[in-house]
Structure 1
Amino acid sequence: MIPLEGEMQSGHPIRLAPGQRVAVIAGSGRLPANVVEGLAAAGHDPFVVLIAGEADSDASLRTHDHATLEIEAFGSLAPLFRKKGITHVVLAGGVGRRPRLWRMRPTPWLLSIMAKALYGLSRGDDGLLRTIVRVFEDEGFKIVGAHEIVPDLLSPEGLLTKAAPTAADRRDLDAAFTAAKTIGELDIGQGAIAIGGRVVALEGIEGTDGLLERTQAMRDHGRLAAAKRGALVKCAKPGQELRADLPAIGPATVEGAHAAGLAGIGVEAGRSLMLDHAELIARADELGLFVIGLPTDKS
């Protein structure tokens, strides 16, 4: 069963009937590979759309039936999906830029949805995602979340590592969780960092990697020289489209948190993705960081 917008499915993958096929629109990061690997492991034949400049360098995705498209060429997607027999679509991975309108290639399908597309572009990241979802569903395709393809990607609640947060770390988790939810309400970002019970950095357009790099720079420049430990928290934006752009962490997040001098990472349980889960936890244990799934009603 495909969940309705705003709902999360509790641990059961979608079941494809004979003749149904999934397309994965692949952006940057490890999420597209995790989704494609999950589909292949279940015996399905995914079609992968590599967004040029985002996912086209991932050789593992090219082992499957695929096409590479500039983001401005997405007006050709619906006809391509019909040609490939696509019934379900997954949006996976990041996109570093928005389409340049003057470079978009006009197609009959694009012209038919242009008003919706322009409206979505004006509504911020979550508004754009909601518009994309509606456009594809109006064309008869089912949009499904990455967590519906690979349910194990969803973060469970509770401590996941050998290291555990101290009482001081818990205060950092609380502060960062509240801050992350606040900026999410404004459609700014999904993450925040707190050190010493005080929020010191918020995620912006540069994403989590940039957030961690800024925190590391503040340590290196002495702005946080006296502050110890600290925590990164990522959580879903209030009311966001949950079938796309769920907050995610992976081994690279653990490396970045360690480089920034943080003690650990908290993610909103059931509404966040953990990529390359076994590697992520193993690396956190090696570095002595905690990783914890926080209850969604924490705030």
Structure 2
Amino acid sequence: MARQGYSDGRLAIIAGRGLLPLHLARAARAEGEDPFIVALKDEVDHRFDDFESISVGVGNLAAIEKSFRDLKIGRVVMSGGVARRPEWRDIRPTFKTILKMPSVVRTLMSHGDDTVLQMVIKLIEAMGCTVIGAHEIAPALLARLGPLGQVSPTGDDLRDIEKGTEAALALGQLDIGQGAVSVGGRVVAMEGVEGTDAMLQRVAELRQSGRISARRRGVLVKLCKPQQDMRADLPTIGPSTVESAVKAGLAGIAVEAGRALVLEEQAMIAAADAAGIFVCGIEPSLDHGGLQ
């Protein structure tokens, strides 16, 4: 007899690196949920002692499906970063995914993150679950429009935001990354697989070497990819982003309002205000690559 889906059943949170999975687990519990945590081995970097959980390899689909079936999981949220894609030999398929293995391996080896995430969503849905977005569990984490702290962008900063927006949208269209840094109206860095903090470290090194003018500060822009599925991998900033931006000598950070997540907002704003940099939510224009 075919298994029925549990689309209104228990919530599972697939947890990778970073604080987002823990924030989601706490937000879900505050709303009366009893979230089950799927902690990805060698990726997750926080403990979930207060929650029922399982630790599995990122490619162990069989163990994940068994847990979902036993616990009547109906909704699944994917959260946190994954630094390493599984090798084909790491994948432990379910009966339903064995026939899909050739396409799964090809996708892992030769496609961008957005395509891989779409594949993962389809595999989870094949288990009878509904994949939902982090913002559906914790809508308060979504960035608001306008300055979040006491500092606002200047005219020069707005020009950098516009140039950074153009670059971030172009980068996202290629399914490469979500962020770009513009200094003095010139794009000096674009995010790749290394992530935002590593990109900002690169900017700091370029500034220290004199490749970027010390007189011009610049802006980090983080946006959803034009083809972004809101159920996975939304742009995320927090206190560590502010710390990295300060080390890079930037004037501020701009993120997409309503489509980016802000973690530990009060601590982040306090750090930004203390450093004299702005954090603001923007609405990018897909037609002009600028701001509405």
Whether TM exceeds 0.5 here: the answer is yes
Q: In structure 2, how many angstroms separate the alpha carbons of the residues matched to 1:241 and 1:166?
A: 32
Residue of structure 2 equivalent to 1:51: 40
- 2:14 is aligned with 1:25: yes
How far has the Cα of 1:283 moved from its partner? 1.3
1:256 to 225, 237, 244: 244
Letter in 2 for 1:167: G
Query: CA 1:53 to 1:90, structure 2 compared with 1: closer, same or farther past 3 Å?
Result: same
Q: In structure 2, how many angstroms separate the alpha carbons of the residues matched to 1:225 and 1:170?
A: 18
- Which whole-Å deviations, capped at 9, do the CAs of 1:77-125 have from their partners, x for residues lacking one? 1121111120000000110011011233354244244245235323321
TM-score (norm 2): 0.91
Residue of structure 2 equivalent to 1:188: 176
Query: CA 1:231 to 1:288, structure 2 compared with 1: closer, same or farther past 3 Å?
Result: same
Residue of structure 2 equivalent to 1:148: 136
How far has the Cα of 1:282 moved from its partner? 1.6
Give the share of equivalent positions with the same residue, in percent.
44
Q: In structure 1, how many angstroms separate the alpha carbons of the residues matched to 2:160 and 2:93?
A: 49
Residue of structure 2 equivalent to 1:35: 24
Alignment partner of 1:63: what SS?
coil
Query: CA 1:209 to 1:215, structure 2 compared with 1: closer, same or farther past 3 Å?
Result: same
Q: In structure 2, how many angstroms separate the alpha carbons of the residues matched to 1:233 and 1:222?
A: 22
Unaligned runs of 5+ in 2: 1-6
Determine if contact 1:266/1:291 at 8 Å carries over to the other structure.
yes
RMSD: 1.6
- 2:89 is aligned with 1:89: no
Letter in 2 for 1:111: I
2:116 to 128, 136, 152: 128
Alignment partner of 2:149: what SS?
coil
Q: In structure 1, how many angstroms separate the alpha carbons of the residues matched to 2:280 and 2:200?
A: 18
- 2:190 is aligned with 1:202: yes
Determine if contact 1:75/1:109 at 8 Å carries over to the other structure.
no
How far has the Cα of 1:183 moved from its partner? 0.5
1:63 to 50, 65, 77: 50
How far has the Cα of 1:31 moved from its partner? 0.9
Aligned length: 280
Alignment partner of 1:108: what SS?
coil
Determine if contact 1:196/1:227 at 8 Å carries over to the other structure.
no
Alignment partner of 1:200: what SS?
strand
Residue of structure 2 equivalent to 1:103: 90
TM-score (norm 1): 0.89
Query: CA 1:266 to 1:133, structure 2 compared with 1: closer, same or farther past 3 Å?
Result: same
Unaligned runs of 5+ in 1: 1-15
Residue of structure 2 equivalent to 1:8: none
Determine if contact 2:18/2:46 at 8 Å carries over to the other structure.
no
- Which whole-Å deviations, capped at 9, do the CAs of 1:50-99 have from their partners, x for residues lacking one? 111111x312x232000111113233211211111200000001100110
| 177-186 or 113-122, larger mean C-alpha shift | 113-122
Taking the TM superposition and a 5 Å limit, the aligned residue runs for 1:274-293 are 274-293=262-281
Residue of structure 2 equivalent to 1:3: none
Query: CA 1:83 to 1:112, structure 2 compared with 1: closer, same or farther past 3 Å?
Result: farther
| 45-54 or 274-283, larger mean C-alpha shift | 274-283
Alignment partner of 2:59: what SS?
helix
Letter in 2 for 1:36: A
| 62-71 or 249-258, larger mean C-alpha shift | 62-71
